Amino acid sequence: MDNIIHASKARGIDVGVMDAAKSIVRQAIDRGYGKQDFSRLAELIRNPSA
């Protein structure tokens, strides 16, 4: 994700959505969900305290 964000910024593309997605992914990893699938991300979006 960092490469995409960096390349987008360099070309003047808004990265707000990518920054938000990266934040959610980081939260999942920090909570120990790194090996689970994307459904865990949806769960974190619905219930941030999960």
Going from N- to C-terminal start, the domains of the chain cover: 17-50
- pLDDT for 32 beyond 70: yes
Q: What is the pLDDT of residue 38?
A: 83
Kindly state the average pLDDT of the residues 16-45.
89
- Name the pLDDT band for 39 (thresholds 50, 70, 90): confident
Q: Within a 13 Å sphere around the CA of 40, how many CA atoms are in the beta-carbon half?
A: 14
Percentage above 70 pLDDT, the chain: 98
Which residue matches tokens 């990265």?
15
Mutual angle of helices 39-46 and 16-30, in 10-degree steps: 100
Residue type, 2: D
- Average per-residue pLDDT for the chain: 90
